[in-house]
């Protein structure tokens, strides 16, 4: 009887961990760079969770003016930055003379064009009129979700390999 009680207690203690284990297994078997989970807070706040990829980076599927693009979340980037090809795909068409802002990137110094992203959506989080910078494709291959977007959230937290965006 005592063994039965011990086994029952262990089983009851492990049951709450089953959803976490299933999420972990789904993360390991999915081919995406990051697994994104959405929940609503009791307070009504919108939350969006992004798991770090194998490189420790947070990559999210983001709708820019209605077009989906994968973006690297970069808390070290002061501005949200789009490669020219992505900007054009989402309806932003800077002119040659608009590339007048000198910026330093990991690939060296270059010039960027100022832009506004009318609508930016990550899961159920909706942001409007986000300041951005457009760089030529040879200067930037991956769009960056920088602080001009992240500062529009109520807050964001990084803990245990998960980035939580809260609006």
DSSP 95: -
Check residue 20 and give its pLDDT.
42
Task: Spell out the residues 6+ positions from residue 167 whose beta carbon is closer than 8 angstroms to its own.
Answer: 45, 46, 47, 125, 126, 127, 153, 154
pLDDT digits (tens, 9 = 90+) for 12-65: 444 444 444 444 444 443 444 444 445 455 568 999 999 999 999 999 999 999
Looking at the chain, the whole-number percentage of residues with pLDDT higher than 70 is 74
CATH number at residue 135: 2.40.70.10
Looking at the chain, the whole-number percentage of residues with pLDDT higher than 90 is 71
Q: Does any domain span residue 85? A: yes
pLDDT digits (tens, 9 = 90+) for 154-165: 999 999 999 999
Q: Does any domain span residue 41? A: yes
Check residue 105 and give its pLDDT.
84
Strand partners, 108: 105
The answer to whether residues 68 and 62 touch, using CB atoms and an 8 Å cutoff, is yes
Q: Does any domain span residue 20? A: no
Q: Does any domain span residue 10? A: no
The answer to whether residues 57 and 129 touch, using CB atoms and an 8 Å cutoff, is no
Q: What whole-number distance in Å separates Cα of residue 148 and Cα of residue 92?
A: 17
Q: Does any domain span residue 12? A: no
Range of the domain at 60: 33-166
Tally of structural domains, the chain: 1
The helices-and-strands tally (H runs, E runs) of the chain is 4, 11
Written as six digits, the tokens of 56 are 């420790």
Higher pLDDT, 3 or 130: 130
- pTM (2 decimals)? 0.74
């Amino acid at each position: 009887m005592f063994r039965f009680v011990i086994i029952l207690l262990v089983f009851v203690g492990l049951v709450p961990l089953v959803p976490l284990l299933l999420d972990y297994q789904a993360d390991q078997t999915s081919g995406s760079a990051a697994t994104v989970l959405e929940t609503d807070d009791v307070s009504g706040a919108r939350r969006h969770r992004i798991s770090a990829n194998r490189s420790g980076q947070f990559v999210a599927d983001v709708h820019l003016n209605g077009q989906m693009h994968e973006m690297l979340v970069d808390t070290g980037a002061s501005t949200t930055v789009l490669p020219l090809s992505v900007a054009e795909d989402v309806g932003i068409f800077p002119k040659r003379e608009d590339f007048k802002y000198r910026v330093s990137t990991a690939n060296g110094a270059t010039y960027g064009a100022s832009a506004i992203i009318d609508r930016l959506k990550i899961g159920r989080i909706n942001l409007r009129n986000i300041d951005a910078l457009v760089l030529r494709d040879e200067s930037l291959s991956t769009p960056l979700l920088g602080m001009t977007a992240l500062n529009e959230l109520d807050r964001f937290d990084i803990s245990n390999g998960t980035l939580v965006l809260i609006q």
